[in-house]
């Protein structure tokens, strides 16, 4: 395709303001990025030389050069020696629609927006297959007790319980959550800092809506929970994957990539999907970084209720309760997914804004369900249920690890598994985990491949095996089928050509 220069008229409507906190080079990068993504600056287009652009916009040449370098690092611009900067050619498939035009008057079927594609797919409601991650033991839930508590609430329901509730949540439940988090997770908060939401996913979504503007930088763990990546796509955030090491998210590596993120997302109690726990020195390092950089920390306390080896580390929020930490959790994994109740614990200065945003999104969670859950916690049933589930889940975790040691240790090794509801197997040999997961469906297994959770070129292959929702007999049968599938897979000639 022939290179084109931009019309001069396209270069005079940049809205730059030296009075803003954001540096001018980032403002200029934002403005150019918007025009590239919208198609106003098409692929192969030749941008003005830095000296020319600086003169037209009354900027320093270094400012323009820094803006160009930001966009080049993001892959939106390419530098050609002796020629200058061009809009990247590989953006054509994104920006240019198909050349075919509809010849029929029939409406074109709607397809999902690219913003919501490539997220963690959930099982269909009809059947939950063995090894589906994130599913609790539904057969062990005290349904009769829950029904009695529900019946009691309905018998004594007042008019206030039947109308619109506060967007912050049912006050007795907020108090119960605050007391539980203080006693069991080391979270320091008042009940007024607790916002009841419809699951942790909504908590993540509300936080991002409030804090992020388009193209704001967000650190995420690499690999990362894909549901959160979908939320970031909706917010048009600039995702910065930061590698993990044995201590959790590598703060120094993140600083080398982008030293001033607006938000840092972490799952420190049990990183999803690897199972890594963030050590105390690393937690303190992250807190100090956030304090110096002005970044917010979004702490998803994923699977913290289920720890089998040693005491859990305190939540990051509790280490610096007046800092820039937003804490979220859910009852969906602990009790049952259809409950759809989670919570945010936020600094006091954010309570009002998040409450208003929650009101605009869906007003509130059903009050009766919140009242039943408050009784369930206050009467000690929640703590008892957790104790029973820890014992069951520990035995099932051990069952999976024992199978691995005796059957597939030459192919896989386990990641950290001192807690949680799944075990991650890391391949020790070349292994196409995505292809295998598709094959396992025919064995009536639901297995998540590990590699799609990564961003960038460096990926590990493996399998994410959920064990919590299936009793020992069913797990034994499923492990037998999995063993047969793996043995057959590695015995096929194409397996030797797979790349890790």
- Crossing angle between the packed helical segments 472-491 and 381-403, to the nearest 10 degrees: 30
**DSSP of 328-362:** EEESTTTT-GGG--EEEE--HHHHHHHHHHHHHHH
Provide the token pair at 76: 């939106």
Three-state SS at 266: strand
- Cα separation, 252 vs 169, in Å, equals 38
CATH of domain 387-497: 3.90.1150.10
Average pLDDT for 209-214: 93
C-alpha radius of gyration, the chain, whole number = 25
- Helices (H), ranges, 235-347: 251-257, 280-293, 316-319
Tell me: pLDDT of 124 over 60: no
Contact 449, 482 (CB under 8 A): no
* Through-space distance between the first and last CA atoms of the chain, rounded to whole angstroms: 36
Average pLDDT for 44-66: 89
Average pLDDT for 362-390: 93
Average pLDDT for 20-31: 86
Q: Which CATH architecture has domain 4-95?
A: Orthogonal Bundle (1.10)
pLDDT at 105: 42
Tell me: pLDDT of 99 over 60: no
Tell me: pLDDT of 33 over 90: no
The length of the chain, given as a count of residues: 500
Tell me: pLDDT of 496 over 60: no
Confidence at 184, pLDDT banded by 50, 70, 90: confident
Tell me: pLDDT of 108 over 70: no
| pLDDT (tens digit per residue) in 284-301 | 999 999 999 999 999 999
Average pLDDT for 441-454: 92
In terms of Cα–Cα distance, which of 86, 68, 79, 6 is closest to 31? 68
- Cα separation, 328 vs 228, in Å, equals 13
Share of residues in the chain with pLDDT > 90 (%): 58
List, by residue range, all CATH 3.40.640.10 domains of the chain.
Answer: 164-379
Tell me: pLDDT of 121 over 50: no
pLDDT at 194: 96
Tell me: pLDDT of 29 over 60: yes
- Cα separation, 200 vs 329, in Å, equals 6
| pLDDT (tens digit per residue) in 303-340 | 888 888 877 777 999 988 778 999 999 998 899 999 99
Which residues share a beta bridge with 46?
5, 86
Average pLDDT for 430-456: 92
Confidence at 393, pLDDT banded by 50, 70, 90: very high
What residues contact residue 456 under an 8 Å CB cut-off, 6+ apart?
A: 222, 241
What CATH topology corresponds to 164-379? 3.40.640
pTM of the model: 0.73
From residue 490, alpha-carbon distances to 22, 247, 283, 431, 436 in Å are: 53, 33, 40, 9, 10
Average pLDDT for 397-408: 95
- Cα separation, 336 vs 93, in Å, equals 42
Distance of CA 54 to the CA centre of its chain: 39
Left if phi > 0, otherwise alpha if psi is -120 to 50, otherwise beta: which for 425?
beta
For the ranges 101-115, 138-152, 247-261, which has the lowest average pLDDT? 101-115
CB hemisphere CA count around 321 (13 angstroms) = 15
pLDDT at 39: 77
Confidence at 114, pLDDT banded by 50, 70, 90: low
Average pLDDT for 223-248: 91
| pLDDT (tens digit per residue) in 64-83 | 999 999 888 878 898 888 88
Which residue would you say has higher pLDDT here, 190 or 56? 190
List, by residue range, all CATH 3.90.1150.10 domains of the chain.
Answer: 387-497
Measured at the alpha carbon of residue 61, what is the angle toward residues 58 and 62, in degrees to the nearest 5? Answer: 125
- Cα separation, 46 vs 419, in Å, equals 53
Tell me: pLDDT of 103 over 60: no
List, by residue range, all CATH 1.10.10.10 domains of the chain.
Answer: 4-95
pLDDT at 499: 36
DSSP E strands: which ranges in 138-250?
A: 194-197, 217-222, 238-245, 248-249
Average pLDDT for 9-25: 76
Tell me: pLDDT of 101 over 80: no
What residues contact residue 205 under an 8 Å CB cut-off, 6+ apart?
A: 231, 234, 361
Average pLDDT for 420-438: 94
Task: Give the mean pLDDT of the chain.
Answer: 86
Tell me: pLDDT of 419 over 60: yes
Provide the token pair at 130: 């063995």
Provide the token pair at 202: 């909504």
């Amino acid at each position: 395709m022939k290179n084109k220069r931009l019309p001069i008229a396209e270069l005079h409507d940049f809205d730059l303001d030296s009075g803003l906190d954001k540096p001018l080079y980032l403002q200029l990068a934002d403005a150019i990025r918007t025009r590239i993504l919208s198609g106003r600056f098409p692929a192969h287009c030749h941008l003005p030389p830095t000296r020319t652009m600086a003169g037209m916009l009354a900027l320093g040449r270094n400012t323009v050069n820094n803006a160009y370098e930001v966009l080049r690092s993001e892959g939106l611009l390419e530098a050609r020696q002796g020629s200058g900067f061009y809009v990247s050619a590989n953006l054509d498939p994104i920006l240019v629609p198909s050349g075919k035009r509809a010849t029929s008057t029939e409406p074109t079927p709607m397809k999902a927006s690219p913003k919501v594609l490539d997220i963690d797919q959930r099982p269909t409601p009809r059947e939950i297959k063995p090894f589906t991650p994130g599913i609790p033991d539904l057969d062990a839930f005290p349904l009769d007790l829950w029904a009695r508590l529900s019946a009691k609430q309905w018998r004594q329901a007042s008019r206030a319980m039947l109308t619109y509730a506060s967007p912050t949540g049912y006050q007795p439940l907020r108090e119960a959550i605050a007391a539980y988090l203080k006693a069991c997770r080391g979270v320091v908060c008042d009940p007024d800092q607790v916002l009841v939401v419809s699951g942790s996913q909504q908590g993540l979504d509300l936080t991002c809506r409030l804090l992020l503007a388009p193209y704001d930088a967000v650190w995420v763990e690499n690999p990362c929970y894909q549901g959160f990546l979908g939320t970031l796509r909706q917010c048009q955030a600039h995702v910065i994957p930061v590698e993990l090491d044995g201590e959790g998210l590598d703060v120094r590596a993140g600083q080398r990539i982008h030293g001033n993120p607006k938000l840092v997302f972490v799952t420190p109690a049990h990183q999803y999907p690897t199972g890594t726990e963030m050590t105390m020195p690393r937690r303190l390092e992250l807190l100090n970084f956030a304090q110096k950089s002005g970044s917010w920390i979004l702490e998803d306390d994923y699977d913290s209720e289920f720890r089998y080896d040693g005491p859990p580390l305190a939540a990051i929020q509790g280490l610096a309760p007046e800092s820039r930490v937003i804490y979220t959790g859910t009852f969906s994994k602990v009790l049952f997914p259809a409950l759809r109740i989670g919570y945010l614990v936020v600094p006091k200065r954010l309570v009002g804004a998040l409450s208003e945003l929650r009101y605009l999104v869906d007003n509130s969670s059903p009050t009766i369900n919140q009242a039943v859950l408050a009784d369930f916690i206050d009467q000690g049933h929640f703590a008892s249920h957790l104790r029973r589930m820890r014992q069951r889940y520990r035995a099932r975790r051990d069952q999976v690890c024992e199978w691995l040691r005796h059957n597939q240790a030459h192919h896989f090794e386990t990641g950290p598994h001192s807690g949680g509801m799944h075990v991650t197997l890391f391949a020790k040999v070349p292994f196409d985990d995505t292809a295998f997961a598709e094959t396992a469906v025919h064995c009536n297994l639901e297995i998540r491949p590990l590699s799609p959770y990564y961003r960038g070129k460096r990926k590990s292959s493996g399998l994410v095996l959920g064990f919590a929702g299936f009793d020992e007999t069913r797990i034994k049968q499923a492990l037998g089928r999995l063993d047969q599938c793996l043995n057959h897979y590695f015995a096929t000639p194409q397996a030797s050509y797979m790349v890790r």
